[in-house]
Amino acid sequence: MTSTPTVPVDAPPGVESHGIDLIPESERQGRPRDLFGMWLGGNLNVFYVVNGAVVISMGLSFAQSLLAIVIGNLAFLAVGFASLQGPRTGTSTFAVSRASYGPNGGRFLAFFNWVTCVGFEASGLALVVLAALALFAHAGVGASTGLKIALILVASAIQAVLPLLGHRAILVTQRRLAWLSGALFIVMAILIGPKVHLGNLAHGSGWAPVTWAIALVVSGGGLSWANTGSDYSRYLARSTSARQVFWCSTAGGFLPATLLEVLGAAVASATARASDPIGGIPAVLPGWVSVPYLLFAIMTLLAVSTLDLDSSGLTLQAAGLRLARWHCVLVDTVICTVLCFLVIFSNQFNSYYSDFLGLLIIWLAPWFAIYATDALMRRQRYDASGLVDTSNRGRYWRTGGFFLPGVIAQLLGMAASAMWINSAAFAGPLSTAVGGSDFSVFTGLGVGGLAYWLLARRTVAKETDALEPVAVPAASEAAS
C-alpha cells in the first residue's frame, strides 16, 4: 500500500519541508535525551508559576496545593506515552490518531486540537505583549494603541521563526534555553524565599476545591501536551528505546511544571496578585529585578508558543487542509495574531484564559484514553503508510472514512466529562449534585477508554493480526 500525495513538500531554503508525511529512516536523528531537553526548555515558563498561584486562590492550604500539584502533574505520563508512537510510525500524533477514528473521523478531533494549540498560542502571545508594555512603562512610555499594534505584530513575527525553521532548530534552541531558564528561576526562588510566609495562606478547605485544582493542573500541563507527543519523537530512529523515550519525555515536562507551580503557590503567600505574571509577581521581587524578569518572561513565553505553533501547523494537515507545513504555520500565525488583538484590546485576558483552560478536559481526556487504549490493543503496531493515506484504499478507511467505535466512544467520553466538570464557564449536573467537585478528568478517561475497548477490541485485534511490517518509505514516496 502506498500513500496518496496530497500536500506539497517544497519549501524555501532553511524552512523545514516535512509535515505529517512519514520521516524516512535515513533522515531520522537524535537521542531520547534530546526530548528531555526540549520538554524542559518548553515547560520552564511563567504559566506554571501562575497555575500554582491560582491553585492557592481556590482556598487550599499549602499542603493541599502540593498534593494537587503533584497528582495533577502525573498527567505528564501521558506525554511520555504519546511520544512512543512517533519512532514507530514516523508521523505526528494526530496522524496516528486516525487509527482510532478513521481519516474523516480524525478530522474533527484534529480540529479540536488545532483550537487548543491556537488558544495557547494566542494566550502566550498576549502575555508577551503585556510584558513588553510593562517594559515600556518602566521607560516612561505609555501604552498607546499604536504601540500595542506594533508589539503584537513584532511578537507574532518572532514567534513564527522557529516553527518555520522546523524540528532541529526547535530542539537545539529549547535545549539551550533550558539552561538559562533554569538558572533564572533558581535566582527568582532565592529572591522570593525570604518573603514567603506560608502561614498567611488559608488553612485548607473541603475536598471539592482539591478536585478543581487537580483538574486545572492536568488541563494546563501534562494532558494539554500529550496531543503533541509524537510530533517531536517521530524524528528518532525506529529502533530507539521506548523506555528512554517515555521517561525522557515524561520527566522533561513533570519536573519544571511541578517545581514552578510549587514556587507559584509559595509566591501567593507573599502577594494576593501572584496570579498576575506581569504586575503581580514582580511586586515581590527587588526593584532592580523587574526589567530582567519581564525580559525573561517574554523569552520563556515565546519558547513555549514555538511548540504550540509547530504542532498546530501539523494538526491543520491532519484535519485535511491541503497546504505544506510551513504554509500552515503562517496561517496559524495570522489567526493567533487576530485573537491576540481581541484579547489585548478587550482587557479580559484572565477571563478568556480561565474559561479556555477549564473546558479543555472535555475533549482531551476521552481523546487520550481512546488513543492510549488503541495503542495498547495494537501493541504499538501500525501501518505507517495507511495513517497518511486518506483515500478509500487506506487500511484505516473503514466506513466512509470513519471508525464508528472511536467516534462513539469520544462522544460518550465527552458527555461523561461534561457531566462532572466545574469550570468558570460551566458546571456539570454531577458536579452540582456532589458538592461542586470536579472529576471530569477521570470520567472522561474512564468512559472514553472503556467504551472504546468494548466497541473496538475485535476489529483492532483483526487489523493487528493481519498487519505485516511496513517499512517507512523513502523521501520520494512519503506524503501527507
Residue 47: closest CA among 224, 292, 246, 250: 224
Q: How large is the average pLDDT for residues 94-100?
A: 95
Residue 190 pLDDT more than 60?
Answer: yes
For the domain covering 32-360, report its CATH number: 1.10.4160.10
Q: Of 103-107, 172-176, 429-433, 438-442, which range is least confident?
A: 172-176
Q: What is the pLDDT of residues 224-265, one digit of tens each?
A: 899 999 999 999 999 999 999 999 999 999 999 999 999 888
Higher pLDDT, 102 or 302: 102
Contact 423, 359 (CB under 8 A): yes
User: One-letter amino acid identity for 351?
Assistant: S
Predicted pLDDT of residue 465: 87
Domain extent listing, the chain: 32-360
Per-residue pLDDT band at 280 (split at 50, 70, 90): low
Higher pLDDT, 13 or 207: 207
Q: Of 164-178, 242-256, 316-330, 465-479, which range is least confident?
A: 465-479
Q: Looking up cell 492557592, which residue turns up?
A: 56
Alpha-carbon gap, residue 264 to 254, rounded angstroms: 15
Q: What is the pLDDT of residues 283-339, one digit of tens each?
A: 777 777 778 888 888 888 888 888 888 898 889 989 988 888 888 889 999 999 998
Alpha-carbon gap, residue 440 to 446, rounded angstroms: 10
Q: How large is the average pLDDT for residues 155-178?
A: 87
**Residue 197 class from Cβ within 10 Å (0-12 exposed, 13-18 middle, 19+ buried)?**
exposed
Predicted pLDDT of residue 459: 94
Predicted pLDDT of residue 74: 96
Q: How large is the average pLDDT for residues 449-457?
A: 97
pTM: 0.87
Which three cell numbers mark 478? 512519503
Alpha-carbon gap, residue 219 to 73, rounded angstroms: 10
User: What's the mean pLDDT when you consider all of the chain?
Assistant: 85
Alpha-carbon gap, residue 273 to 285, rounded angstroms: 13
Contact 230, 16 (CB under 8 A): no
Which three cell numbers mark 365? 481526556
To the nearest 10 degrees (0 to 180), the angle between helices 145-165 and 167-192 is 130
Compute φ and ψ for 236, nearest 5 degrees.
-85, 150
Residue 101: closest CA among 426, 478, 411, 428: 411
Residue 374 pLDDT more than 90?
Answer: yes
Compute φ and ψ for 186, nearest 5 degrees.
-65, -45
Contact 255, 40 (CB under 8 A): yes
Please enumerate in sequence order all residues whose Cβ is within 8 A of that of 224, keeping only pairs 6 or more positions apart, or say none. Answer: 116, 120, 360, 364
Please enumerate in sequence order all residues whose Cβ is within 8 A of that of 354, keeping only pairs 6 or more positions apart, or say none. Answer: 54, 423, 424
User: One-letter amino acid identity for 11?
Assistant: A
Contact 17, 323 (CB under 8 A): no
- Which residues, listed in sequence order, are joined to residue 402 by a DSSP beta bridge? 399
Over the range 159-177, which residues count as b (16 or more CB within 10 Å of their CB) and which as e?
bbebbbbbbebbbbbbbeb
CA dihedral 357, 359, 365, 368 (to 10 degrees): -70
Compute φ and ψ for 345, nearest 5 degrees.
-85, -5
Alpha-carbon gap, residue 455 to 307, rounded angstroms: 34
Longest dimension (CA), the chain: 70
Per-residue pLDDT band at 473 (split at 50, 70, 90): very low
Over the range 90-100, which residues count as b (16 or more CB within 10 Å of their CB) and which as e?
bbbbbbbbbbb
**Residue 467 class from Cβ within 10 Å (0-12 exposed, 13-18 middle, 19+ buried)?**
middle
User: One-letter amino acid identity for 229?
Assistant: G
Alpha-carbon gap, residue 436 to 212, rounded angstroms: 9
Predicted pLDDT of residue 107: 93
Alpha-carbon gap, residue 440 to 431, rounded angstroms: 9
